[in-house]
Structure 1
Amino acid sequence: MVEKKNETLEWIKALVIAFVTVFIVRTFIFTPIVVDGASMNTTLQDHERMIVSKLGEPERFDIVVFHANDTQDYIKRVIGLPGDEVEYKNDTLYVNGKAYEEPFLDKQKVNIDGDLTKPFKLEDTVVGQATVPEGHLFVMGDNRRNSTDSRQIGAVPIDKVVGTTNFVFYPIKDIRIIEN
């Protein structure tokens, strides 16, 4: 009888340790997310599943997940960091006056007529100022013509960012690491 009681106690301890470990990992290190919508096409597809890392600070061109509101998380690409001036002209990104290539948009550009990204300056968007505010990010979806992003919702507070992501784990046939 004592042996059976010890075995039960060991199982309970193992389960508690497993649940605590899963809780800590999901809360502080990694969490899964499902892509919902077409705003990141062709980089990401609707219903793909990804792992979000909660470690480190987002950098330019990282794909981030953030709380858009109380019920929705968005997946977008970081374009502007705090203090950056952001402008698009002739379908080219300029940050602080320097032109940047965006190779992750190449597949999109092949399939469209005209500019993928309509020209704008940061102050012409809802951000309403010349630079990305401190403590915020300017984000855009890769599917620029079909993305609700910082051009409409404003700069994203960094404290609303869940983390960065670049690993698709489902569907199995599409497992990949996305290069920024």
Structure 2
Amino acid sequence: MGKANNKLKRLIERTKELILAVLSAVLISSFIISHTKVPTASMVSTINPGDHLIVNRIPYYYRDPIRGEIAVFHFEEDHLIKRIIGVPGDEINIESGQVYINGKALKEAYLNHKENTYLYAGSKVKFPYIVPDGYYFMMGDNRSNSKDSRVFGPIARKEILAKAGLCIYPFDRVGILK
């Protein structure tokens, strides 16, 4: 009887450890950091299709997003990743392929083809555009291949989930995203 009791105790202990490990992993990936694989080319060359990223949820619990950060947000049924171009109250304008924020040309060293910043016909947004309170204007770095706020409008603060932090794969691209 003693051996059976010991085996049962060990089984219960292992099951408890497994449940705690799974619960910890779920909590960490839901509230702290998570992994994502990028499916599209909207952020090339900063982020390429197939890149694996670690995104950090913590910063947006205690502060608002900052212009220039790369963020993951919920849009319709998807999670998208884009750069924050405009914050609440900003006036966004696009003229001759150049983005202007509050009348000043935005310096965008991360773009590989500046001349590809154009307006979409049939866009919900008319420029110049004032970003409403509680919203953010998001754009991909690969502007000719990015469905972004130029098309679907600004993103509500509550839909911005995480800050993109680290590329972990492929190994030749490992590093902090800028």
Which bracket does the TM-score occupy, shorter chain normalised?
0.7 to 0.9
Q: What does residue 82 of structure 1 align with?
A: 88
Equivalent residue in structure 2 for 1:104, among 92, 95, 110: 110
Q: What does residue 26 of structure 1 align with?
A: 29
Mark the runs of 5 or more structure 2 residues left unpaired by the alignment: none
Q: What does residue 117 of structure 1 align with?
A: 117
**Structure 2 letter corresponding to 1:38:** A
SS in 2 for 1:45: coil
Equivalent residue in structure 2 for 1:4, among 1, 7, 11: 7
Q: What does residue 126 of structure 1 align with?
A: 124
Q: CA deviation at 1:102?
A: 1.0
- Which range moves more in the overlay, 47-56 or 94-103? 94-103
| Amino-acid identity (%) | 34
Q: Figure out how many residues of one structure are paired with residues of the other and give that number.
A: 169
Q: What does residue 71 of structure 2 align with?
A: 64
> Displaced runs of 4+ in structure 1, greater than 4 A?
none
Equivalent residues of 1:58, 1:163 under 8 A apart: no
Equivalent residues of 1:87, 1:119 under 8 A apart: no
Q: CA deviation at 1:119?
A: 6.7
Q: CA deviation at 1:24?
A: 0.8
Deviation string, structure 1 residues 89-124 (Cα, Å, up to 9, x no partner): 34433212233311111x334xxxxx231379xxx9
Mark the runs of 5 or more structure 1 residues left unpaired by the alignment: 110-114
Q: Structure 1 length normalisation: TM-score?
A: 0.85
Q: Does 1:48 find its partner at 2:46?
A: no
SS in 1 for 2:84: strand
**Structure 2 letter corresponding to 1:100:** L
Q: CA deviation at 1:3?
A: 2.2
Distance in structure 1 (CA, Å) of the matches to 2:97 and 2:81: 22
Equivalent residue in structure 1 for 2:79, among 55, 73, 77: 73
Q: What does residue 40 of structure 2 align with?
A: 37
**Structure 1 letter corresponding to 2:107:** E
Q: What does residue 151 of structure 1 align with?
A: 150
Equivalent residues of 1:137, 1:158 under 8 A apart: yes
Distance in structure 2 (CA, Å) of the matches to 1:145 and 1:7: 59
Distance in structure 2 (CA, Å) of the matches to 1:175 and 1:38: 18
Q: Structure 2 length normalisation: TM-score?
A: 0.86
**Structure 1 letter corresponding to 2:86:** G
